[in-house]
Structure 1
Amino acid sequence: MVQHSTHDNLPDASSRLYRWGVAACRHRLAILILPTLIALACLPLLATVEDRLSSGGWLPFGSEAAQVDRVLDEQFGRHATAHYLLFSDPNGSLLATETLFRREVERTVAPLRNDPSVLAIHTWGTTTNPALHPLLISDDERQSLAIVMVDQDVKTAAAEIPRLRELLTNDVLDVQIGGWPATTEDFRDLTSSDLRRAELFSVPIALAVLLVVFGGVLIAGLPLVTTALALIPTLAAVAIMSRYLETSVFTINVVVMIGLAVGIDYALILVSRYREELANHEPPHAMGVTLATAGRTIIVSGMAVAIGLLGLLTVGVDAATSTAIAASIVVFLGVLVSLSVLPAALSLLGNRVRIHGLVRLGKGGGITHRFGWFATTARAVLDRNPVPALAGSCAMLLLLAAPVLDMRPEPPGMTVLPQSQPARQMFDSVRADFSTSTLSPITLVVEPRNGRPMTNARNLNDLEAFTEALDEIEGVESVVSVWSFLPSGFGSGFLAGGIQVDEELAAVVQPYLTANAAVVEVNIRAAPGSEAAKAILDTIRTEHPRLSDGAFTVLAGGETATSVDLIGHLTDRLPWTLGLVTLATAVVLAVHFRSVLLPVKAV
């Protein structure tokens, strides 16, 4: 049986936290009303919190893959986003080359042709681009692809996926929608389902535990209410932030997880301490003492957690930055609510706070815990055998951390999606049945090294030779460049002169050729981010001087390149991030404990 006395070592009644605790009891209604009104005002924004979340944001600033994205946007005008539609006969009797199949494809995409956001629609047999014909039909000619180019960013296009799935239906053919917008929408669906799962399981379990600990329904529900008052404004802030900063689809999951953790943890600290003080003091003084002691602990804990989260800002990718900001906001609001709303609510409950769960009032005004024997036994073991206890604890922690050694960070991509998701199923179908197509190629930006325009006949000739060399790399299925869109026998000299005078020819080649650079897309059989895909990427990046005979500088981007660049970036930044977080946390703890040894022990 463990007893605590609160008569000795009381904090100074003039401290700010003590005075705030007393004020919280006296002005409890005003303190409760203001956060409630703020939460209610934020509710409309919650309906839009998922609208602009992105599966992207993992390009490290200044990385090679990021440079490719920038050049594609600035020089090649690739602001458009592509939806990919996969058509197939569910009975397997129709070929994609048959008239009925093609007619049904055209009937399905017809509603999109008048959509002002649609820039172009390419279907097999109707596209004016001859190079796309072999890419839009499966090897066995039983499936075909349609490419719908829209003048929207990925996040806006992703919001259109539910509407497209309702619009693009056919009673003869199966229609699947894929590409990055569909992938982003599927990630959003997963996030929503995870949150619903948390609501169905985590919240009832937490409430049951709080009921056992606190011994009353009202007081057990307080931590969940205060957590909600912190979460609602945070999610509203995420909705606003996502309009200006690329915000990861996983940000909401992180915010809810951390919000629940700190909200319940801080409530346990504050309520337990308040009950101890309430056993010997009047409520205002008891609350003042509680905030002057436990309140200070909560502030320091919140600072330590926020420092760890803000360390993600040093990673240098938008997805980590948005997550760090949102998670830090929910910790800040969790501390704020715990030190304002929770004391006011406890004061409002009055004597009902005295109902005990695992804690009882003992003789002489002390506090007795039902499981005090466990604390007594544990302390006795630690006092008698400190070295074995330390060694055992370290061994257990190392054992629990062992899976980290096999952890392989990957940005969210099509292959990260579960196979039950529609976008993943379409990706797998295209990969298996379309040997010349891929939804995620390795994209190269090729720039001449001789100082002449890329449209120079000699550079165009070297570009053709370079694409032929790329096609010889093991694992490469096909290579798409400006030469893929021109008739056989079309010479470099004719192309160089033709784009100067022929507007139609210039429009055809513009997505793949400008005066400064050319774009080459390398389609590979391997899945993006796989070891085989990384090996091909490494070959291109290291061997391109030899493959191009020294004619070009080559930058490689795409999903695989993003994965490789992100892992390399994290490997470089991780020591600095850990060092900064450790140092900042140690400083905060040293100021709080007025000790050097305790912060070293903690970190």
Structure 2
Amino acid sequence: MFTRLAGTITGRPRLVLIVTLIFVVGAGVLGVGAFGKLLTGGFDDPRSDSSRAADIVDTQFGGAPNLVLLVTARSGTVDDPAVAAAGRSLTAELGQEPGVRGATSYWTGAGPSLRSDDSREALVVATVDDDHADDLVTKYEDAADASGPVTVRPGGQAGVNRDIGDSVSTDLATAESFAIPITLVLLVIAFAGVVAALLPLGVGLIGILGGFAALSVIAEATDVSIFAVNLATSLGLGLGIDYALLTVSRFREELATGKDKRAATVATVRTAGRTILFSGATVIVALAVMLVFPPFFLKSMAYAGIAVTLVTMLTAVVVLPAVLLLLGERVNALRVGGLAGLIRRRRVARESAAPAAAGATPREATESPFWRAVATQVMRRPLLTGLPVVALLLLLAAPLLHVSFGTPDDRVLSGGTPSRVVGDVLRDDFGSNVSGALDVVVNGPTTTGALAGYATELSRLPGVGRVDSAAGEFRGGARTEPPGPASARFTADAGTYLRVIPSIDPMSTAGQDLVREARALPVPAGTEVLVGGQSAYLTDGKHAISAKLPLAIGLIALATFVLLFLFTGSLVLPLKAIVLNGLVLGAVLGVSVWIFQDGHLAGLFGFTPGPLDTSMPVLLFCIAFGLSMDYEVFLLSRIKEQHDAGVPNTEAVATGLARTGRIVTTAAVLLAVTFAAFATGSVRFMQMFGLGTALAILIDASLVRGVLVPAFMRVAGNANWWAPAPLRWLHARVGLSEASPPVAPAASAAIAIPHPGGEPDGRTSSTTSATVS
């Protein structure tokens, strides 16, 4: 398969590049339009009661208030005549703005609950169409410090959405300005040349453009989250580096054996191309699992990730070999000195002074003495070295025992963000949280008496500040205000709805308990009741995630098992990979709880501690699982190559790690940089995603690949490659295998001790010539 593909590429390399250029231009034009189509939010289950309630309130009752203007008296109280006049004028002005479906305030009869405890602040609340929300938030933010008796600060869900969107865009630009220069410098050091270093960035850029184009098309048909842009950028850049590093290094290695550029290209596609195919397939499988979850935030991540991975994989397997064929030896052009040159010169000096190993081949010259020594030492005492690492990972996972979950509100933003400032004032200075209200929809006809009775019972529930309804206002089990003109907004032809204003944090455990208690109350006869609002979104979101989680874990484990069986022909190695990945993910999620929920390092990263967002552990699980399997395939491909050639188990493992350790480490560091850049942002759950993914990559590339894999494979011995006869027969016929010609088995002992001479330079990269097939 890959030999035929290589023949096609080497036969028409310029045609391949022309088609690629056309794709890049088209994807760039299409991808630019994606940004105007993407949405904030997407953390709720659209089929839940809370989402159904929100849809009914929006279509039948004009929508729940989503814009809050915090009005502060410059002097005196909000009841002073000048302040009151300004408040009424502001309410009337807001009510006339395009897209506003209704505005009310403390000064227009909405009640004392919209006045702060010290009477220096009051609220104007409005329902605003999504298409106009950002413009209105910006307008009142710009006018916040205008002269007059009051200051005005916009907030509420409309303000939070605008600020999150702006923060994501700013953070993305900051992350790119931070990650790309560092990545380029590291690539130049790794390849000791500018031309070779630019190739991974080119592959990553094509993957990113392809991902943006896919998001633009998908957003025409369904909701897509703006956060998918972050994933498309980081994953495209990271996988582009991974796959190009692998391909370029293998090509340079093949040139170093004396092959001409065409033969080197064919060998590269046949070996590295196969590895990239399986590697990309494992990443795609992990990402596709997010499609089973209802929130469109997770589905969006799947759309972006699958598209980017597919385009990057095809670019590395098809386009990059065509570029390498045309470059030939010029891939080593524009060599640089400095650290890379110093490393190369020192290695040449060591190798010149050391005797050549008997029977050494050019491929053995690409081995890393350090990683061979690590593998050798681990396999000498596998239990003594492996069990402490397992214990460490379990210890890091321990904070998961007290994990709690939430949905994003203004507290995911940094402290100085406008909507966050308003949210803090609402929680600290107001007796009830109008922006955290429960919307209780009553479908079906009911009498005024029955509605009043139901509102009375709702107002008795713990954590309820008041209940607004068509039957009046209720507090503590009694009606405190009769129906007035404003009560008409709670009535429609098909039924009515009530606003339950909590006196507690809607994101707290008490807020979730309030949802369950409200849903447990007897409803008016002949009606159906749906409970919505922030607390209900959180309750339903947690249920949607937990209900699908067993299916997701089962699917990702099964698909990964099948792919690795097709790759290796073993039943033991896929199980080993799944268990080790589970340890890594547990450790990363535990560290995330310790940092982002418990608040350690909050000062360093500038966030407010809080519950983990419901969708984020799932996203982190899928991304980290896929990328970990990426490196698993890199390592197993080299070990299998040695095993298929008849090399003993311990020597095959040592050689595999020696030939992949450097490239996996380099790729992991570069990939970790691209994700860790998001930890410098200002949105808490994206900080967690960036830091958690980077940590998972580094743990996997060091402790797992360097210690646990060799330890396990030493203990398992020949059982590593076990499969029952029927499955061996199946693998022989359906397994995708296209190995390079076998080499003679090594004449070394079961565990080889590296000779001190290191590795000759030849024409390969000074720091990343260890590659995988």
TM-score range, shorter chain: 0.7 to 0.9
State how 1:125-140 maps to structure 2 within 5 Å.
125=107, 127=108, 130=109, 132-140=110-118
Contact 1:118 1:149 in 2 (8 A): yes
Residue of structure 1 equivalent to 2:637: none
In the aligned structure 1, how far is the partner of 2:498 from the partner of 2:252? 69
The yes-or-no answer on 1:410 pairing with 2:387 is no
In the aligned structure 2, how far is the partner of 1:184 from the partner of 1:446? 28
In the aligned structure 2, how far is the partner of 1:210 from the partner of 1:81? 51
User: For 1:277, which of 241, 251, 254 is the aligned residue?
Assistant: 254
Residue of structure 1 equivalent to 2:69: 85
In the aligned structure 2, how far is the partner of 1:66 from the partner of 1:30? 51
Residue of structure 2 equivalent to 1:554: 529
* CA offsets 1:262-303 (integer angstroms, 9 cap, x no match): 111111211111111112211111111111111011011111
* CA offsets 1:13-45 (integer angstroms, 9 cap, x no match): xxx322333443453333234333333334355
Q: Structure 1 stretches of 5 or more lacking a match?
A: 1-15, 496-503
* CA offsets 1:494-542 (integer angstroms, 9 cap, x no match): 99xxxxxxxx97xx65542235432111111222211221222232223
Instruction: Mark the CA change 1:398 to 1:513 in structure 2 (over 3 Å): closer, same or farther.
Output: same
The yes-or-no answer on 1:469 pairing with 2:461 is no
SS of residue matched to 1:526? coil
SS of residue matched to 2:412? coil
State how 1:236-251 maps to structure 2 within 5 Å.
236-251=213-228
Question: Which stretch has the larger CA shift, 175-184 or 437-446?
Answer: 437-446
State how 1:367-406 maps to structure 2 within 5 Å.
367=363, 372-406=368-402
SS of residue matched to 1:248? coil
Residue of structure 2 equivalent to 1:97: 79
Instruction: Mark the CA change 1:197 to 1:105 in structure 2 (over 3 Å): closer, same or farther.
Output: same
Contact 1:168 1:175 in 2 (8 A): yes
Residue of structure 2 equivalent to 1:63: 48
What is the TM-score with the length of structure 1 in the denominator? Answer: 0.83
The yes-or-no answer on 1:252 pairing with 2:237 is no
* CA offsets 1:391-447 (integer angstroms, 9 cap, x no match): 234334334444444443432223333322211211221232232451120121234
SS of residue matched to 1:574? helix
Residue of structure 2 equivalent to 1:425: 421
Q: Structure 2 stretches of 5 or more lacking a match?
A: 579-773
> Which residue type is aligned with residue 568 of structure 1?
H
Residue of structure 1 equivalent to 2:146: 170
State how 1:107-146 maps to structure 2 within 5 Å.
112=94, 114-125=96-107, 127=108, 130=109, 132-146=110-124
SS of residue matched to 2:70? strand
In the aligned structure 1, how far is the partner of 2:429 from the partner of 2:510? 19
Contact 1:436 1:523 in 2 (8 A): yes
In the aligned structure 2, how far is the partner of 1:371 from the partner of 1:78? 68
SS of residue matched to 1:247? coil
Residue of structure 2 equivalent to 1:314: 292
Contact 1:85 1:178 in 2 (8 A): yes
Residue 121 of structure 1 and its aligned partner are, at CA, apart by 3.2
The yes-or-no answer on 1:286 pairing with 2:264 is yes
Contact 2:143 2:152 in 1 (8 A): no
* CA offsets 1:439-468 (integer angstroms, 9 cap, x no match): 1201212346xxxx22xxxx3212212212
User: For 1:210, which of 187, 195, 198 is the aligned residue?
Assistant: 187
In the aligned structure 2, how far is the partner of 1:407 from the partner of 1:245? 32
SS of residue matched to 2:462? coil
Contact 1:55 1:249 in 2 (8 A): yes
User: For 1:523, which of 498, 501, 519 is the aligned residue?
Assistant: 501
In the aligned structure 1, how far is the partner of 2:61 from the partner of 2:37? 22
Contact 1:28 1:345 in 2 (8 A): yes
Residue 80 of structure 1 and its aligned partner are, at CA, apart by 7.2
In the aligned structure 1, how far is the partner of 2:40 from the partner of 2:415? 17
In the aligned structure 1, how far is the partner of 2:2 from the partner of 2:244? 16
SS of residue matched to 2:410? coil
SS of residue matched to 1:474? coil
Instruction: Mark the CA change 1:241 to 1:412 in structure 2 (over 3 Å): closer, same or farther.
Output: farther
In the aligned structure 1, how far is the partner of 2:273 from the partner of 2:367? 25
Instruction: Mark the CA change 1:515 to 1:571 in structure 2 (over 3 Å): closer, same or farther.
Output: same
In the aligned structure 2, how far is the partner of 1:55 from the partner of 1:278? 49
The yes-or-no answer on 1:301 pairing with 2:279 is yes
In the aligned structure 1, how far is the partner of 2:89 from the partner of 2:536? 38
SS of residue matched to 1:18? helix
State how 1:487-566 maps to structure 2 within 5 Å.
509=487, 511-542=489-520, 544-545=521-522, 553-566=528-541
Question: Which stretch has the larger CA shift, 46-55 or 141-150?
Answer: 46-55
Contact 2:140 2:153 in 1 (8 A): no
In the aligned structure 2, how far is the partner of 1:255 from the partner of 1:177? 31
Residue of structure 2 equivalent to 1:9: none
Instruction: Mark the CA change 1:446 to 1:121 in structure 2 (over 3 Å): closer, same or farther.
Output: closer
Instruction: Mark the CA change 1:439 to 1:164 in structure 2 (over 3 Å): closer, same or farther.
Output: same
In the aligned structure 2, how far is the partner of 1:227 from the partner of 1:555? 47
In the aligned structure 2, how far is the partner of 1:417 from the partner of 1:58? 16
CA RMSD, Structure 1 to Structure 2 (Å): 3.1
State how 1:567-582 maps to structure 2 within 5 Å.
567-582=542-557
Residue of structure 2 equivalent to 1:72: 57
Residue of structure 2 equivalent to 1:481: 469
In the aligned structure 2, how far is the partner of 1:384 from the partner of 1:290? 33
Residue of structure 2 equivalent to 1:587: 562
Residue of structure 2 equivalent to 1:223: 200
Residue of structure 1 equivalent to 2:137: 161
> Which residue type is aligned with residue 69 of structure 2?
L
Instruction: Mark the CA change 1:105 to 1:512 in structure 2 (over 3 Å): closer, same or farther.
Output: closer
Contact 1:108 1:170 in 2 (8 A): no
> Which residue type is aligned with residue 62 of structure 1?
R
Residue 179 of structure 1 and its aligned partner are, at CA, apart by 1.8
Instruction: Mark the CA change 1:29 to 1:484 in structure 2 (over 3 Å): closer, same or farther.
Output: farther
Residue 219 of structure 1 and its aligned partner are, at CA, apart by 1.0
Residue of structure 2 equivalent to 1:8: none
SS of residue matched to 2:221? coil
The yes-or-no answer on 1:41 pairing with 2:41 is no
Residue of structure 1 equivalent to 2:327: 349
